[in-house]
């Protein structure tokens, strides 16, 4: 069986891939993730996932590489990981009553055959109207300072939303598993 390598240091992506009960290794791609000037967020995440796959393939030349990237946007502008409480308050205040769009890219690269499978999946998060105290209480309980958009949908963050819209709830966490299963099958890797 061909070795699978997840090109990520994200514990969230690792946990998602573990759901598929496949044997895999993890390796951090360590690439420059700076957006290019005037680059659309969808194009940026697609480019970064491919660059991550290519970087990992240099160290794992006969493997199937799974790489992904994600960004959150509000009004077409990228919302990064807040890093601290105050920035998280600002992000959630801006998102209150509005829709944040996540773009999650997926690149599955068969380094042995030099074949790529690529996709970008959008996911829409419709926020409730949030009070200052709701935002502050949520942030103090969950401390999602390393998460784009300042929330963890798989945790208490679900209380911030009116609804979620997308093909796969795993996409929001960082790895579109339904799409990944299809891509792996094209390289003869069966999940079930």
Write down the catalytic residue from 32, 43, 54, 69.
69
69 has catalytic annotation: yes
Contacts of 147 (CB under 8 A, 6+ apart): 81, 82
Distance CA 74, CA 77 (A): 5
30: left (phi over 0), alpha (psi -120 to 50) or beta: left
> Which three-class secondary structure state does DSSP give residue 103?
strand
In this structure, are residues 66 and 4 in contact, taking their beta carbons and an 8 Å threshold?
yes
Instruction: Just list the catalytic residues.
Output: 69
């Amino acid at each position: 069986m061909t070795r699978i390598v997840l090109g990520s240091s994200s514990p969230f992506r690792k946990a998602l891939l573990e759901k598929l009960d496949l044997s895999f290794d993890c390796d951090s791609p360590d690439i420059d993730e700076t957006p290019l000037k005037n680059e659309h967020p969808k194009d940026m995440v697609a480019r970064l996932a491919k660059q991550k796959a290519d970087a990992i393939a240099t160290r794992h030349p006969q493997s199937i590489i799974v790489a992904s990237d994600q960004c959150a946007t509000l009004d077409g502008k990228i919302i990064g990981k807040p890093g601290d409480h105050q920035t998280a308050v600002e992000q959630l205040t801006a998102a209150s009553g509005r829709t944040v769009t996540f773009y999650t890219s997926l690149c599955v690269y068969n380094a042995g055959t030099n074949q790529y499978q690529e996709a970008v999946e959008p996911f829409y998060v419709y926020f409730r109207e949030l009070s200052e105290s709701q935002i502050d209480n949520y942030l103090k309980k969950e401390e999602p300072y390393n998460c784009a958009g300042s929330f963890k949908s798989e945790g208490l963050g679900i209380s911030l939303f009116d609804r979620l819209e997308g093909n796969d709830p795993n996409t929001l966490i960082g790895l579109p598993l339904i799409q990944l299963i299809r891509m792996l099958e094209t390289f003869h890797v069966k999940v079930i």
